[in-house]
Amino acid sequence: MRVARSMISLSGIALLAGCTVGPKYSRPSVTTPAAYKENPPQSYEQAGIWKPAQPSDQDLRGKWWETFGDPQLNALEEQVTVSNQDLKAAEARFREARAMVGFNRAAEFPTIAVGPSASYVKDSNNTPAFPTTVSRSGAGDFLLPVDLSYEVDLWGRVRRTVAAAREETQATAADLATASLSLHAELAIDYFELRSADAQKEILDNTVKAYTDAYQLTETRFEGGASPRSDVAQAKTQLEDARVQDTDVAVERAAYEHAIAVLMGKPPAEFSLAAAPMNLNPPAIPSAVPSELLERRPDIAAAERRVAEANEQIGIAKAAYYPTLSLNGSAGFESTHVANLLSGPNALWAVGPQLIETLFDGGRRRATSQAAWANFDAQTANYRQTTLTGFQQVEDNLAALRILEREGQQQRDATVSADDWLEVSTNRYTGGVDNYLQVIIAQTTDLTNQRNEVDILRRRMDASVLLVKALGGGWDASELPPQASLR
């Protein structure tokens, strides 16, 4: 007990005298604009593509996809959370990082080991320089030792190692949030692409029916001698071309249906989604100022945490220049007979500190320090680049929503006009005023405009999802596990 108390006292003195070497961490500065360049004017706020943030805008947090108001999408997104294999892998990496905190933290405590042994040694009969009676004798040895070793963290190497592991765990937690956000956004985009394909299919199905009627009309007029055979050929060609487009949409739709199945952790053969043309409009996304992006994007948070981890590595490399103090102790019993092994006279113990200082290592510590600084610079640059990319993605999708809103209104006008033109051309052909070429041109223009209108809506929905993703999906850096909770 006296030995133990002495070691504990010595350890306490050493810890009190300890200090932490290396730079103190501060978050790298980034250039943050006061407002987004593409922040839409009041007219677009009124159009519904952007609105000022309000206290009720917590709707964007957590299940942000519910903002789109599609029950089918909500059900699919819930399955991604539960069954997606990439998400499970990211969660496992987080648990691995968290376990490494405990692994590194174990160095803050002494290591105690016990190694009992029993042996019997018999000398050789031919041992030189010993009498025969001695050489033929043997001796038994029973040993019950308890060894203790402890590295005193004089320069903060152990503390910085634990801190680095905690920073990596926080970064991995942000990686998990990034993976979740990306996978949910990917499913939402695939879903809207599929619904867009359904809408295209509906348009082409209706077009095939209309072209079939037009073809029958040309045949009737041809048989009555009112139209040439070329009109029949043109109508037939137009009809078959529409059928080709109608069939081709199925390829795209099948690919998106398969992608959705895999995102939900299912084989494509076990999943199908009934056709339902998209009839949604992009929701109003809560606005934010650029400075909030630093806290709302998990990939930016992960990059910042890895800068902090790199800073700890610099301190660890610097601590290698200083001597290492270890406390070592051993106690136990040793006897030639097991019967009296635990008796007082057979006790043994040894205790004492050990100080080790590297005098020459061929530049290894200097190279390690230089590598740590280089890694810190790289992580800092990565953090700043991730932030710039975040600003770019917000600006891109703000611009897309603003421009596509106007383009959608223009396209709606063009589609209405094309519908009118087709009706007039068909009536004039039926009345014998125009030839069938005018009908063909009007049909092609009308179909192109209808499909383009659906495509613009698809792009608006995709841009809405990408804007939510660019804003972090309602995530906040406060959701990172506190360092104090990482044991």
Give residue-wise pLDDT tens across range 151-209: 898 898 999 999 999 999 999 999 999 999 999 999 999 999 999 999 999 999 999 99
DSSP letter string over 109-139? S-EEEE--EEEEEE--TT-TTS-HHHHT-EE
Q: What pLDDT score does 386 carry?
A: 96
Give residue-wise pLDDT tens across range 135-152: 455 566 778 888 889 889
Pairing of strands 138-152, 117-122: antiparallel
Question: Which of 7-16, 284-293, 416-425, 443-452 has the weakest average pLDDT?
Answer: 7-16
Which one-letter DSSP state was computed for residue 478?
G
Buried b (16+ CB within 10 A) or exposed e, 245-279: bbeebeeebeebbbbbbbbbeeeeeeeebeeeebe
Cα 412 to Cα 452: distance, rounded to the nearest angstrom? 10
Q: What pLDDT score does 285 carry?
A: 80
Give residue-wise pLDDT tens across range 334-386: 887 777 777 778 888 888 898 889 899 999 999 999 999 999 999 999 999 99
Residue 114: strand pairing partners: 146
Average pLDDT over residues 34-63: 55
Domains and CATH numbers, the chain: 20-109+154-322+364-485 (1.20.1600.10), 111-152+324-356 (2.20.200.10)
Q: What pLDDT score does 334 carry?
A: 82
Interhelix angle 157-223/298-319, rounded to 10 degrees, is 150
**Helix (H/G/I), strand (E/B), else coil: 76:** helix
Structure-model confidence comparison of residues 131 and 378, the more confident one: 378
Tell me which amino acid residue 62 is. G
Q: What pLDDT score does 347 carry?
A: 84
Cα 125 to Cα 128: distance, rounded to the nearest angstrom? 9
Structure tokens at 250: 């199925």
**Helix (H/G/I), strand (E/B), else coil: 154:** coil
Residue 123: strand pairing partners: none
Q: What pLDDT score does 309 carry?
A: 96
Structure tokens at 209: 């029916």
> What is the separation of C-alpha 29 from the centre of its chain, rounded to a whole number of angstroms?
24
Average pLDDT over residues 303-309: 96
Which of 42-51, 292-301, 368-377 has the largest mean confidence? 368-377
Tell me which amino acid residue 418 is. A
Which of the four pLDDT bands, split at 50, 70 and 90, describes residue 59? very low
Interhelix angle 85-105/157-223, rounded to 10 degrees, is 180
**Residue 41 scores a pLDDT above 70:** no
Cα 343 to Cα 103: distance, rounded to the nearest angstrom? 38
**Residue 253 scores a pLDDT above 90:** yes
**Helix (H/G/I), strand (E/B), else coil: 84:** coil
Which one-letter DSSP state was computed for residue 227?
S
Which of the four pLDDT bands, split at 50, 70 and 90, describes residue 112? confident
**Residue 234 scores a pLDDT above 70:** yes
Average pLDDT over residues 373-402: 95
**Residue 51 scores a pLDDT above 60:** no
Which of the four pLDDT bands, split at 50, 70 and 90, describes residue 43? very low
Residue 438: strand pairing partners: none
Average pLDDT over residues 398-427: 95
Count of alpha carbons within 13 angstroms of residue 312, beta-carbon side: 19
Cα 67 to Cα 51: distance, rounded to the nearest angstrom? 14
> What is the separation of C-alpha 409 from the centre of its chain, rounded to a whole number of angstroms?
36
* Torsions phi, psi for 142 (to 5 deg): -115, 125
Q: What pLDDT score does 142 carry?
A: 78
Average pLDDT over residues 425-451: 93
How does the average pLDDT of the chain come out, rounded? 87
All residues at 6 or more sequence positions from 71 whose CB lies less than 8 Å from its CB, including other chains: none
Cα 373 to Cα 457: distance, rounded to the nearest angstrom? 49
Q: Percent of the chain scored above 90 by pLDDT?
A: 62
Cα 112 to Cα 279: distance, rounded to the nearest angstrom? 68
Tell me the pTM: 0.85
Structure tokens at 391: 């600003």
Which of the four pLDDT bands, split at 50, 70 and 90, describes residue 100? very high
